[in-house]
């Protein structure tokens, strides 16, 4: 399920439709939906990092939901480098929509430098992120 088809009480702040995907920004969290076939490596994350820093850079923490509605590749060995680039401590949620997605998310968990939870639907991820009382 795409974020635009999901009902939430949270108010959308900004939506970015970029070559690599759609990024929906709320007050204390964001939802990404990466485009089919993208190779999301360290270099491709530059624009994503700019968005994160401009919206959440001054906050002690924020939530990030990766809603994996499409298949794309991610370079897991690039993930630990993010810790030095993001000054705050995000809470991450990956939403997978099939068994392969779940296996990939579980594998990636070994590389993320931040707290990460894996869900099989967007509602659970939103509940996790919004109920975590992010101190923003």
* Tens of pLDDT, residues 18-70: 999 999 999 999 999 999 999 988 788 888 889 999 999 888 889 999 999 99
Distance CA 119, CA 1 (A): 13
pLDDT band at 8; cut points 50, 70, 90: confident
Q: What's the CA gap between 60 and 79, in Å, rounded?
A: 20
pLDDT for res 40: 86
pLDDT (tens digit per residue) in 71-104: 998 888 888 887 788 878 889 999 999 999 899 9
> pTM of this prediction?
0.89
Domains in the chain (CATH in brackets) are: 3-131 (3.30.750)
């Amino acid at each position: 399920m795409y974020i635009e088809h999901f009902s939430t009480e949270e108010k959308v702040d900004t939506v970015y439709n970029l070559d690599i995907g759609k990024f929906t920004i709320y007050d204390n969290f964001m939802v990404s939906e990466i485009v089919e076939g993208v190779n999301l490596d360290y270099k491709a994350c530059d624009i994503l990092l700019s968005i994160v820093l401009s919206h959440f850079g001054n906050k002690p923490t924020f939530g990030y939901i990766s809603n994996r509605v499409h298949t794309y590749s991610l370079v897991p060995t690039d993930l630990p480098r993010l810790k030095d680039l993001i000054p705050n401590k995000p809470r991450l949620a990956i939403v997978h929509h099939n068994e392969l997605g779940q296996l990939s998310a579980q594998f990636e968990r070994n590389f993320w430098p931040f707290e990460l939870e894996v869900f099989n639907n967007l509602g659970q991820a939103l509940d996790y992120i919004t109920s975590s009382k992010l101190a923003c």
